[in-house]
């Protein structure tokens, strides 16, 4: 299992694991967290992913008793990562994509959105992060595709994983959690706005976005949810930055920063039980939104909207969404 983490332009390569911790169903999830604690206690690093569906096992009322055909969690156990210098993306791509299609018909999509609006109208939920999948046939080298995508759309939290049975290419703009000693930070992303066509219209677009009532409402709902979730595992919870506007090549995104303090040796199981999955990928209230997602989406998200990252022997953590 090979894991390349490129968060904040600081590439770390984890390869040749001592062992791999993998969970195929909810019944073994807590055992995997115990094995993670044991590995860190012996001075190893952990790097890998947690799938979105693991979140249904962190809350009893959601019920997580279904075995999955994709790992809920997979972590490699490593001696240490290597700092690497990444080569540029190939000028002549050795990849081809075809047969591009969505996994849902327009009629079913329209029906799902109508149902979500009805849930909101009835007061069942305030916000639902509904996802559909874009499918395609692929030929070529997955790592070349990853580098091409990252060149075309640079993001702050990309990662690439080769598990031996799956390739995972993560072009993530969003931090899930960063823990450094007792200090914890999360940066939920909610709100989207198009870029302008020139420097003047782009500046105006950014200002309009920052003060747009709908996007602010959407963002502050999730910021409040994350403050509550961090409060389950820490103290001194603050929101030092709200409604920050990040610029990407094709669009603006809105983020907020939530911070707090926790026990530097807090169990990993408690961290994920408190925060995972992030409210930015579920909606609010989280549990009700997750039930609606499970009802409407029809297939597992797997790694999408899960988390990829690593844990150091000092118990520091850094994961994207």
Give catalytic residues, as residue numbers: 174, 190
Least Cα distance to 50 among 38, 64, 113, 41 occurs for: 64
| Surface-to-core class of residue 288, CB atoms within 10 Å of its CB (0-12 exposed, 13-18 middle, 19+ buried) | middle
Q: Taking a C-beta distance cutoff of 8 angstroms, is the pair 321, 305 a contact?
A: yes
Token duo for residue 253? 């995104």
Token duo for residue 89? 């993306």
What are the helix (H) ranges across 97-156? 106-121, 142-152
Cα-Cα-Cα-Cα dihedral sign, residues 104, 189, 128, 51: positive
**Concatenated DSSP letters for 4-21?**
EE-GGG--EEE-S-SEEE
Residues in the chain: 321
List CB contacts of 47: < 8 A, sequence separation 6 or more: 3, 5, 12, 14, 75, 76, 78, 81, 309, 310, 311
Question: What are the phi and psi torsion angles at 62 (to 5°)?
Answer: -85, -25
Least Cα distance to 296 among 112, 52, 131 occurs for: 112
DSSP state of 93: -
């Amino acid at each position: 299992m090979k894991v390349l983490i490129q968060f904040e332009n600081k590439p770390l390569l984890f390869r040749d694991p001592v062992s791999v911790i993998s969970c195929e169903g909810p019944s073994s999830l807590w055992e995997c967290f115990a094995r993670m604690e044991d590995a860190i206690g012996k001075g190893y690093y952990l790097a890998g992913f947690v799938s979105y569906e693991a979140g249904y096992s962190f809350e009893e009322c959601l019920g997580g008793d279904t075995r999955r055909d994709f790992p809920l969690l997979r972590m490699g156990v490593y001696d240490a990562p290597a700092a690497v210098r990444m080569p540029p993306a190939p000028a002549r791509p050795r990849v081809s994509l075809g047969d591009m299609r969505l996994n849902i018909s327009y009629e079913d999509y329209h029906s799902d959105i109508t149902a979500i609006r009805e849930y909101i109208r009835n007061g069942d939920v305030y916000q639902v992060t509904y996802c559909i999948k874009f499918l395609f046939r692929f030929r070529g080298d997955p790592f070349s595709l990853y580098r091409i995508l990252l060149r075309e759309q640079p993001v702050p939290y990309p990662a690439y994983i080769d598990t031996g049975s799956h390739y995972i290419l993560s072009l993530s703009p969003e931090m899930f959690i960063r823990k450094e000693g007792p200090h914890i930070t999360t940066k939920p992303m909610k709100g989207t706005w198009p870029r302008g066509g020139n420097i003047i219209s782009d500046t105006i677009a950014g200002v309009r976005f920052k003060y747009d009532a709908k996007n602010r409402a959407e963002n502050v709902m999730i910021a409040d949810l994350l403050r509550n979730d961090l409060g389950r595992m820490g103290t001194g919870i603050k929101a030092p930055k709200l409604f920050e506007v990040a610029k990407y090549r094709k669009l603006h995104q809105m983020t907020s920063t939530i911070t707090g303090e926790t026990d530097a040796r807090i169990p990993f199981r408690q961290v994920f039980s408190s925060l995972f999955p992030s409210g930015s990928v579920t909606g609010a209230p989280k549990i009700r939104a997750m039930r609606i997602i499970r009802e409407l989406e029809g297939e597992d998200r797997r790694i999408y909207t899960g988390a990829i990252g690593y844990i150091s022997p000092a118990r520091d953590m850094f994961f994207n969404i």
